[in-house]
Chains A and B, each alone.
Chain A
Amino acid sequence: MTQQPPRRRTPNRSERSATPPSKPAAPLRLGRPSRRLKVGMLALAFVFSLYSGRLMQLQVTDAGGYAAKAAADRTADVTLYAKRGSILDSSGQPMAESVDAVDVIADPLVIAQQKQDPAVYASKLAAYLGNPPGTADIATLRAKLSKPGSQYAVLAQQVTPAVWKQIKALGLDGITGNQDPKVVYPQGAIAPNAVGFVNSQGVGGAGLEQQYNALLSGTNGKISYQAAYGIEIPTTGINEQAAVDGTSVETTIDSRIQWAAQQAIDAEVGKTKAALGTVVVMDPRTGAILALASSPTFDPNNLSTATSAELGDPAVSDVFEPGSVAKVITMSAEIQQGVTTPATKVVVPPQLNTGDGYTVHDDTYHGYENLTLNGILAESSNIGTDMTSLQLAPNNMTERNALLYDYFSAFGLGRDSGLGLPGESPGILAPAADWNHSQQYTVAFGQGLSVNAIQATSVYATIANQGVRVTPNLVKGTVASNGKFTAAPAPTRTQVVSPHTAEQVSQMMESVVSDEGTGTDAEIPGYRVAGKTGTANRYVASCHGYCGYTASFIGYAPADSPRLVIGVYVEGPQGANYFGGSVSAPVFQQVMTFALQEQGVPPTGSKAPNLPVSW
């Protein structure tokens, strides 16, 4: 039914179309070609205008976007990793250096999909992995390779490029390499505490590596090129943004002296079962730190076994009460103020009652002694030091304290040492007004204030350098990747005491290292050595008070033309032998003997003044 109407209509139409021929034929009227042409042209023009419009849109207005999209589609980017800068010793040899290394990564899912046998993979790879190569555990590798569902398993970290090349040559599916430069220590662990380490993210985690991280890391670059199926299309040009390699940091550390210092302090800390030992070697003329050794230290190649405390640098982070080594500051103040001379005669009583319940004692009991100021320093008398320091401002304790504070501060105590190493503690030097009764007396002989090893050594470097304090420094300069050396800014110099005062104090310190002094063990035959022992009560937080001692010795040689200053600090030595003169002075002697030869410092040939110690 529904199909009816069309059927009926069709004949109608055919009737209608058949109608005209039945009429008398009209003359054939040809269309006007020009009009047709015009219409055709218009139609064509319209169509072409659409085309050209689209063309315009593609080629002109949107062209940039499409071109960029196309370029992006066939552009391959390769990151160029910047080489991390090295940390160099004073001779330019690297102490820590970044080298190429590759992490070997497996994709167990791909291995499973390719129907490969993880056991075969494991045995093939085990021949190259492990340290030394070929010692990797096959079972462990197999477990990693066959872990179901996993797409990322690190088989080995930081293998050498040579090993990676061999693994790559095996052509195993699902095994890839990932650039992961590692820091190596070609000379072994030289000054690990000062150098620091680089953490697993490739960022400096301590020491100089952290302090100079921005400079050391450099900037990664990029290569972009046109590629089809991963293969470079010739003649399309390569856009290379070169990586800027990191800048190396050249330190003032002499790796040989550093090594000798490390050996000596390790042995002493081991022998005395001390909690901590530190050796600082300095050039007094430049303030350059030649060695900075701490014990116990850590192995930068095996960070996992190190405790977080060991990873820092105790030479700057650990503070202690200096004890008798600080007497040198007090005496410098007295001599500079003109209230005493090395020959000043003092009757030192067995004890000094200061009133208010505080009595000053000396280390060993003695009767009344007739000592010179020189003798007070040589025998390290607390009582004598206090008595003479009161002369700074007789009967005016406030002024005397202020003066003493000014000198302690001028010698660099209570301030940052200037090295800028992470985790530095400036120690504690309370303002004079805050000193309590006993502190007013103890500060003069080095208790009731705290310093770090660099600060303490710097005091002696100041005396050795004719009273001019040169800010300690550890970095000589930087070496850019193109080899251009940029020197570090010159350290600041301040005249703390006059050259004459420094000379007098220096001569007094030679008496300490004489047969009449406390530092006999620091003697080096043929050389004039000046120094001072210190045996301080050690404050230990865990026992809420003073437990044990800090044995120290700081000195320099040759005394009349100082080239090297060495500070040795041993904290918490066990046993009956805990004195600076017997624990630290031998270490000083050992390191100084080595360093003098290493630096080629001959004896001056002059005679020690041998100032009188008693009268």
Chain B
Amino acid sequence: MADRPVRRGPRPGAGPRLAVIQGFAGRRSAIPFALLILGVLGVGLVGLLMLNTAMDENSVRTARAQQRQAALTDREQELSQQLAGLTAPGALASQAAALGLVPNPQPAFIDPSDGRVLGSPSPAPTPSPIPTPTPTPTATPTGSPGTTASGPASGSAGAPSTTPASVPATTPSESPQ
């Protein structure tokens, strides 16, 4: 302190003149500014809250949609498996047999261009006894009322099946070989 007893500074009188500025009404109140800040904070908070809510809502919706998607995928898989099971050759064959259909032992084709019959067609043999509902509709009373869908199918097959055993016997001898 002894080295520097005097603080350097502007000597009085040499500095810029200070004067009261007219029109300044004194310190302004801090309240509006505080309110502004509070307002900004408030808006920010509410905004954040809304953003959060929206995000949560979306995530809940996403989760629900994902669950639904998973469930639907499972269902689709299940149904396509069921469908594949129903269209499997074994299932089709047993369904066909239940309707009184039989495999065609003598394939024949019709040429649509000239109506020519290719091959040696013959009436189908009588279906194997048990699964067929109605080879002759009146003969079996239990079969006819139960299955209405098989009515037309068995009806058309019923007409030639009156003489089923005798007809195929003639065809092998007619064949070229």
Q: Contact residues of A with B, CB < 8 Å? A: 30, 93-94, 97, 99-100, 160-162, 165, 184, 186-188, 190, 234, 255-256, 258-260, 510, 513-515, 523-529, 593-594, 596-597, 600, 602-603, 605, 607-608
**10 closest A-B pairs by CB:** A186-B84, A526-B119, A187-B88, A259-B89, A602-B109, A525-B175, A526-B120, A525-B120, A602-B118, A597-B107
Q: Given A99-B81, A594-B103, A603-B118, do A528 and B177 touch, yes or no (CB 8 Å)?
A: yes
Enumerate 26 A-B pairs (CB-CB under 8 Å) in ascending A order: A30-B1, A100-B77, A162-B75, A165-B71, A186-B81, A186-B84, A186-B85, A186-B88, A187-B84, A188-B90, A188-B91, A255-B88, A256-B89, A259-B89, A513-B177, A523-B177, A524-B107, A526-B106, A526-B108, A526-B176, A593-B105, A597-B107, A600-B109, A603-B108, A607-B176, A608-B177
A100 and B71 CA atoms in complex are apart in Å by 12
Given the complex, which residues of A lie within 8 Å of B71, measured CB to CB? Answer: 162, 165
Option from B75, B78, B84 in Cβ contact (under 8 Å) with A93: B84
Given the complex, which residues of B lie within 8 Å of A258, measured CB to CB? Answer: 89
Contact between A593 and B118, CB atoms less than 8 A apart: no
Contact between B172 and A597, CB atoms less than 8 A apart: no
Residue B104, interface by CB 8 Å: yes
Given the complex, which residues of B lie within 8 Å of A597, measured CB to CB? Answer: 104, 107
Option from A190, A523, A602 in Cβ contact (under 8 Å) with B172: A523
| Shortest Cβ distance from residue B17 to the other chain A in the assembled complex, whole angstroms | 34
Number of A-B contacts (CB under 8 A): 101
Given the complex, which residues of B lie within 8 Å of A99, measured CB to CB? Answer: 77, 81
Residue B74, interface by CB 8 Å: yes
- Chain A contact residues: helix, strand, loop or mixed: loop
In the complex, residue of chain A having the shortest beta-carbon distance to the beta carbon of B83 = A186
A524 and B118 CA atoms in complex are apart in Å by 13
Contact between A526 and B74, CB atoms less than 8 A apart: no
A234 and B56 CA atoms in complex are apart in Å by 9
Given the complex, which residues of B lie within 8 Å of A602, measured CB to CB? Answer: 109, 111, 118-119
| Shortest Cβ distance from residue B109 to the other chain A in the assembled complex, whole angstroms | 4
Option from B59, B88, B119, B122 in Cβ contact (under 8 Å) with A188: B88
Residue B70, interface by CB 8 Å: yes
A100 and B72 CA atoms in complex are apart in Å by 13
Contact between B118 and A526, CB atoms less than 8 A apart: yes
| Shortest Cβ distance from residue A121 to the other chain B in the assembled complex, whole angstroms | 25
Residue B163, interface by CB 8 Å: no
Contact between A525 and B106, CB atoms less than 8 A apart: yes
Residue B69, interface by CB 8 Å: no
A107 and B104 CA atoms in complex are apart in Å by 58
A597 and B116 CA atoms in complex are apart in Å by 17
| Shortest Cβ distance from residue B115 to the other chain A in the assembled complex, whole angstroms | 13
Q: Contact residues of B with A, CB < 8 Å? A: 1, 55, 59, 70-71, 74-75, 77-78, 80-81, 84-85, 87-91, 93, 103-109, 111, 116, 118-120, 122, 171-172, 174-177
| Shortest Cβ distance from residue A554 to the other chain B in the assembled complex, whole angstroms | 18
Option from B85, B116, B119 in Cβ contact (under 8 Å) with A525: B119
In the complex, residue of chain B having the shortest beta-carbon distance to the beta carbon of A184 = B81
| Shortest Cβ distance from residue A32 to the other chain B in the assembled complex, whole angstroms | 9
Option from B89, B106, B116, B122 in Cβ contact (under 8 Å) with A593: B106
Contact between A161 and B70, CB atoms less than 8 A apart: yes
In the complex, residue of chain A having the shortest beta-carbon distance to the beta carbon of B174 = A525
A446 and B88 CA atoms in complex are apart in Å by 39
| Shortest Cβ distance from residue B110 to the other chain A in the assembled complex, whole angstroms | 9
Given the complex, which residues of A lie within 8 Å of B80, measured CB to CB? Answer: 186
Contact between A605 and B81, CB atoms less than 8 A apart: no
| Shortest Cβ distance from residue A53 to the other chain B in the assembled complex, whole angstroms | 37
Given the complex, which residues of A lie within 8 Å of B176, measured CB to CB? Answer: 526, 528, 607-608
| Shortest Cβ distance from residue B1 to the other chain A in the assembled complex, whole angstroms | 6
Contact between A525 and B91, CB atoms less than 8 A apart: no
| Shortest Cβ distance from residue A593 to the other chain B in the assembled complex, whole angstroms | 6
Contact between A187 and B77, CB atoms less than 8 A apart: no
Given the complex, which residues of B lie within 8 Å of A234, measured CB to CB? Answer: 55, 59
Given the complex, which residues of B lie within 8 Å of A259, measured CB to CB? Answer: 88-90, 93
A93 and B88 CA atoms in complex are apart in Å by 10
| Shortest Cβ distance from residue A613 to the other chain B in the assembled complex, whole angstroms | 14
In the complex, residue of chain A having the shortest beta-carbon distance to the beta carbon of B110 = A602
Given the complex, which residues of A lie within 8 Å of B85, measured CB to CB? Answer: 186-188
Given contacts A525-B106, A593-B106, A608-B176, list 10 more A-B pairs with CB under 8 A.
A162-B74, A186-B80, A187-B88, A525-B171, A525-B172, A526-B107, A526-B108, A526-B175, A600-B109, A605-B118
In the complex, residue of chain A having the shortest beta-carbon distance to the beta carbon of B58 = A234
Given the complex, which residues of A lie within 8 Å of B55, measured CB to CB? Answer: 234
Given the complex, which residues of A lie within 8 Å of B89, measured CB to CB? Answer: 187, 190, 255-256, 258-260
Given the complex, which residues of A lie within 8 Å of B111, measured CB to CB? Answer: 602
Option from A30, A94, A513, A603 in Cβ contact (under 8 Å) with B109: A603
A510 and B176 CA atoms in complex are apart in Å by 12
A528 and B175 CA atoms in complex are apart in Å by 10
A603 and B1 CA atoms in complex are apart in Å by 129
In the complex, residue of chain A having the shortest beta-carbon distance to the beta carbon of B168 = A525
Given the complex, which residues of B lie within 8 Å of A526, measured CB to CB? Answer: 106-108, 118-120, 175-176
A180 and B171 CA atoms in complex are apart in Å by 57
A99 and B80 CA atoms in complex are apart in Å by 11
Given the complex, which residues of B lie within 8 Å of A608, measured CB to CB? Answer: 176-177
Contact between B109 and A160, CB atoms less than 8 A apart: no
A162 and B76 CA atoms in complex are apart in Å by 12
Given the complex, which residues of B lie within 8 Å of A160, measured CB to CB? Answer: 74, 78
Given the complex, which residues of B lie within 8 Å of A515, measured CB to CB? Answer: 177
| Shortest Cβ distance from residue A561 to the other chain B in the assembled complex, whole angstroms | 13
Contact between B175 and A523, CB atoms less than 8 A apart: yes
A110 and B14 CA atoms in complex are apart in Å by 90
Given the complex, which residues of A lie within 8 Å of B175, measured CB to CB? Answer: 523, 525-526
A514 and B176 CA atoms in complex are apart in Å by 10
| Shortest Cβ distance from residue A85 to the other chain B in the assembled complex, whole angstroms | 15
| Shortest Cβ distance from residue A127 to the other chain B in the assembled complex, whole angstroms | 19
A529 and B93 CA atoms in complex are apart in Å by 26
A510 and B174 CA atoms in complex are apart in Å by 17
